[in-house]
């Protein structure tokens, strides 16, 4: 079965540079979530999109922005990178409206490992 | 919002023995109870889930039990194997609208050979 695809898998940037992370959800999934996981920490929710509209916002810095496109893929744009942005960035996707009032399962991608030097 | 606690935070068991991880949550509206397994450097992978209209679910060596009254659910792994070593997260959620996962601190499971 197709899974969530993230690119690139690894990224090295200098401080103050910009980075763009891409996420391709499972086919027919309309909701995308972004999570950040620092070294030795739990994943922290950043932002989510449903049908190309922002649906929820977590601890995402103002330097970051994201969007979901018409083909449902999503991009996380990170500017003025700081050393503390070094982390694993996960994208997850889910479908909506098929479980009769229950939450839908979120499926995670393999992540993008960002290293800021 | 949901307050999630997992116990224990670390667990070491002999290969072949069973492991049990408990997740306690606060939101009585929670109706979906998944468990994720995360290996080092990889994304969390769903290993089993249960919805609130069911009390127990089993998939080979893995089972999940739910106690809605007490607001906790548990992951049971039997006949543990070295590849079961990982961090396990519970991620209870509720409502009918898609919502973010608030991860707890996770449980680091180590299987001793």
Nearest to A58 among B95, B100, B106 (CB): B100
Residue A60 has pLDDT above 80, yes or no: yes
- Taking only the tens place, the pLDDT of each residue in B11-21 is 999 999 999 99
- CB atoms A108 and B36 under 8 Å: yes
Nearest to B32 among A44, A50, A102 (CB): A102
> 3-class SS at A105?
coil
Q: Pick the residue from chain A with its C-alpha nearest to B47.
A: A107
- Taking only the tens place, the pLDDT of each residue in B78-108 is 999 999 999 999 999 876 556 788 887 899 9
Residue B1 has pLDDT above 70, yes or no: no
Calculate the alpha carbon distances from A37 to A5, B40, B43, B103 in Å.
Answer: 17, 12, 10, 11
- What residues contact B31, with CB distance under 8 A and at least 6 apart? A101, A102, A103, B51, B52, B93, B94, B95
- From the CA of A15, how many Å to the nearest CA of chain B? 23
Residue B35 buriedness (CB in 10 A; 0-12 / 13-18 / 19+): buried
- CB atoms B98 and A107 under 8 Å: no
- From the CA of A110, how many Å to the nearest CA of chain B? 5
Residue A65 has pLDDT above 70, yes or no: yes
For residue A2, the model assigns a pLDDT of 82
Beta bridge partners of A87: A114
**Residues 12-71 in A contacting B (C-alpha not used; CB under 8 Å):** 31, 33, 35, 42-45, 48, 50, 55-56, 58
**A9: part of which helix (H) or strand (E)?**
none
Phi, psi of B84 (to 5 degrees): -80, -10
Q: Who has greater pLDDT, A67 or B2? A: A67
**β A112-116/A10-13 pair status:** parallel
Does A111 touch chain B if contact means CB atoms closer than 8 Å?
yes
- CB atoms A45 and B106 under 8 Å: no
Mutation pick from A6, A31, A103 vs chain B, by most beta carbons of B within 10 Å, is A103
CA distance B76 to B12: 14
- Taking only the tens place, the pLDDT of each residue in B31-69 is 889 999 999 889 999 999 998 888 999 999 999 999 999
Kindly report the number of other CB atoms within 10 A of residue A91's CB atom.
30
Specify the range with the lowest mean pLDDT, choosing from A78-82, A95-99, B89-93. Answer: A95-99
CA distance A50 to B27: 23
């Amino acid at each position: 079965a197709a899974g969530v695809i993230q690119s690139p898998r690894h990224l090295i940037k200098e401080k103050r540079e910009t980075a763009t992370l891409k996420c391709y959800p499972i086919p027919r999934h309309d909701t995308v979530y972004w999570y950040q996981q620092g070294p030795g920490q739990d994943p922290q929710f950043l932002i989510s999109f449903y049908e190309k509209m922002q649906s929820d916002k977590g601890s995402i810095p103002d330097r970051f922005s994201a969007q979901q496109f018409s083909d449902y893929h999503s991009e996380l744009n990170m500017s003025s990178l700081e050393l503390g942005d070094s982390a694993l960035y996960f994208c997850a996707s889910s479908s909506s409206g098929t479980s009769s009032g229950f939450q839908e399962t979120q499926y995670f991608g393999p992540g993008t490992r960002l290293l800021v030097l | 919002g949901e307050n999630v606690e997992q116990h224990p935070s670390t667990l070491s068991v002999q290969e072949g023995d069973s492991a049990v991880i408990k997740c306690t949550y606060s939101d009585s509206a929670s109706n979906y109870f998944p468990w994720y397994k995360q290996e080092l450097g990889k994304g969390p992978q769903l290993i089993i889930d249960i919805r609130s209209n069911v009390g127990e679910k089993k998939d080979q060596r893995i089972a999940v039990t739910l106690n809605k009254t007490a607001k906790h659910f548990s992951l049971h792994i039997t006949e543990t194997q070295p590849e079961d070593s990982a961090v396990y997260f519970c991620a209870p959620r509720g409502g009918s609208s898609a919502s973010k996962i608030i991860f707890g601190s996770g449980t680091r499971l180590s299987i001793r050979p």
